[in-house]
A and B are shown apart, each in its own frame.
Chain A
Amino acid sequence: MTGNTSPRADDGSTAAENADAALTTRPDGGSVTASGNRRWSRSGRAFSTLLGRPIVAGVVAVVTAFLTVPVLVAFVSSFAESGSGVLPTGFVTFDHWRKVLGFGEYGVRKNAIPGLTYSLLIATGGMVLNVVIGVPVAYALARYDFYARDWVNTFAILPLVPGLILGIAFVQTYPQHGRSALGLLAGYCLLKSPYMVLTVQSSFQSMDLVRLEESARSLGASWPRTFLTVVVPHAKRGIIAGAIITWTLAAAEFNFTHMVASGSPDPFAMFLYDNIANNALYLQSAAAVSVYFLIVAGAIISLQLLGKRGFSTAHQ
């Protein structure tokens, strides 16, 4: 509000009366001019009041369409026979899915199942490691106030080193093990740990940790026992949500994998890359990408069952 809303009515009724007359004397002796009245009622006719809402709603509609339409088109056209023309035609065929997943005698594409299994296993390993390293640090940050807490916080919740750089450095530092499953696992864990820490932290922040801990301690539990059997189970939902998020993100992590992966078996991200980089197989890429969509959709549904609003680390 700026300062120029001077002609103010004392109550609603005078405002309504004033609006009718060009120059009216107010009960308190002041007078209101016609131009003042116009200012007073202008908000009802202001451009933003009339059109603001439709414009913003239109922007939201366009944004939603921009974000969802390609996903839906890719998914639908993975079942189509032909992708040329405005809309894909010739439904329903499972050829592309079969080719992509390596069933059938096409020979061009490798069997994707080993790569997918391999990636999902590594993602699971990274997820378990993330629980082990993420939950304690999230508890320390939520419960205690200590020297350099802000620094630890920033390190723990911000993915400061991009995956590409980490991948390059990783391979050079650990030439023997860098390209192994262990290397991928450690990298995924470090790259995705902020999601775990943030999710668990926001779950801890909604609890009265001091009281919880003191009750358990006064009933005779040692501190490790308190932490493991009282505090951690209380944050169960946050931990599960964080686990789902880190797992899904690690399953298709590309930037790090591209630098580190050695090829046998090919991680899922490399399988996606091989399919996408090859433009000629447009519909086959659609099927490959759709495999990952299904994984993400499953993750989002599980997250919503846990009461989270999709891929967000915030506590609701």
Chain B
Amino acid sequence: MSVRKSATASVRRIATLASTTARPTTERERERRRIVVLCLPFFALAVVAGFVPLAMLVRISLAEDTIWMEGWSLEAWETLATTPAYRRVAWNTLWFVGLATGVSVALGVAVAHALEKYDLPAERIVVAAVSFPIALPGIVVAYLITVLLGRQGLVTNAIAVATGQGAHGLASATAITGLFLGYVYSLLPRATMVLRGTYAEVNEQAEEAARALGASRWETFYHVTLPEIRPGIAAAAILTFRSGLAIFGTVLILQSHQVVTLQIHNEISVGSYAPDVAAAIGLVYVVFIVAFTFVGLRFVDDDAVEV
């Protein structure tokens, strides 16, 4: 009884809220209407192009007949839960992206530190070089790795000439190291951009005081700078990790490591067509990314967020 009463009450409250928003009489209600109007176009698109397709993904993963979307079955989820190969894919993705994130953030700290603290001779060029790769899609990054490490690659051929070996044996673009460098190529610029924003807000007086009191450069960095940029490092790691999980073009070209995006792609390829399994993996993947981002960002300052 009381449940029903409170339910009616909340329905009535929502109805009042909707009607005052639609036909406001006070300034506060007018402001609420403005906020709704401002947010509406974005959410209209997000629903049509984002939420509805995601709901459809749930339906696909539960469909018995994936061509006509009929019937219900948990088969795809059972396959996903019981096949060890999928667990291996998950593990492959996590360690690989995690390692690439670690390397990218560490290098990003170095680059951001140098850009902020040192008088680099060609600072504009370094900034341009670091921000340029953000615009490159994964397939182009894969190509750039073959330019360095492929059979006709610059580094491969340089080593081949220096050591007298054949270039074929040395090419590592399609080895896992080449893919790893591709990930770092994509992720490093993102990490650096977030960290540059953090570095701009570091209190320089504290660092100068530490130096004046006799701390070495490393001690100053470790005890003064690092605690200040720690939120930025956390934000950079979260955003880099989730960008790394979304990489697909690079791994599609180089093909040397079975990560989740490649697995999803393989599930809907001709020959092993299983859209229900692909949808199930996709859902797990999206839920993981969303949960990870939300949980992660709870612990960091919102201002540090950049994409």
Contact = CB atoms under 8 A, between A and B. Distances in A.
A298 to B, nearest CB: 11
Nearest to B214: A43
Contacts of A156: 42
A71 B210 CA distance: 41
Interface string B125-160: 111111111111111101111111011101001100
A64 B219 contact: no
Interface in B278-307: 278-279, 282, 285-286, 289-290, 293-294, 297, 302, 305-307
Given A186-B49, A296-B132, A137 B41 contact: yes
B217 A162 contact: no
A2 B222 CA distance: 11
Nearest to B48: A186
Interface stretch (B5-13, B83-91, B105-113): B105-113
B251 to A, nearest CB: 11
Give the one of A74, A87, A155, A310 with max B CB within 10 A. Answer: A310
A192 to B, nearest CB: 10
A133 B125 contact: no
A19 interface: no
A64 B126 contact: yes
Contacts of A74: 143-144, 147
B232 interface: no
Contact of B185 (A1, A67, A170, A299): A67
Nearest to A140: B38
Interface string B234-259: 00000000100110110011000000
Interface stretch (A51-59, A97-105, A109-117): A51-59
B1 interface: no
Interface in B198-217: 210-211, 213-217
A83 interface: yes
Contacts of B144: 70-71, 74, 289
Contact of A137 (B42, B139, B151): B42
Given A157-B307, A198-B306, A299 B60 contact: no
Nearest to B157: A86
A70 B133 CA distance: 11
A163 B264 CA distance: 12
Given A48-B218, A168-B264, A311-B132, A273 B139 contact: yes
Contacts of B133: 67
A243 interface: no
Nearest to A273: B139
Main secondary structure of the interface of A (DSSP, over half): helix
A219 interface: no
B246 A153 contact: no
A60 interface: yes
A313 B306 contact: yes
Contacts of B185: 66-67
Given A172-B275, A254-B138, A164 B305 contact: no
Nearest to B110: A59
Nearest to B113: A56
| Size category, A interface | 35 or more
A2 B107 CA distance: 26
Interface in A35-58: 39-43, 46-49, 52-53, 56-57
A166 B50 contact: yes
Given A40-B214, A169-B56, A2 B223 contact: yes
Contacts of A169: 53-54, 56-57, 279, 282
A70 B242 CA distance: 25
Nearest to B135: A296
A312 B145 contact: no
A70 B140 CA distance: 11
30 contacts: A43-B211, A48-B218, A56-B110, A59-B111, A63-B130, A64-B125, A64-B130, A73-B147, A84-B152, A139-B38, A140-B34, A146-B35, A153-B302, A157-B305, A160-B290, A161-B289, A164-B248, A164-B264, A164-B282, A166-B49, A174-B53, A190-B45, A195-B307, A198-B306, A252-B136, A258-B249, A273-B249, A277-B253, A310-B131, A312-B196
> Shortest 3 CB-CB distances between A and B: which pairs?
A310-B131, A48-B218, A46-B216
Interface of A: 1-2, 5, 8, 39-43, 46-49, 52-53, 56-57, 59-60, 63-64, 66-71, 73-74, 77, 83-87, 129, 132-134, 136-137, 139-140, 144, 146, 150, 152-166, 168-170, 172-174, 186-187, 189-190, 193-195, 197-198, 223, 248-249, 252-255, 258, 269, 272-273, 276-277, 279, 282, 285-286, 289, 292, 296, 299-300, 309-314
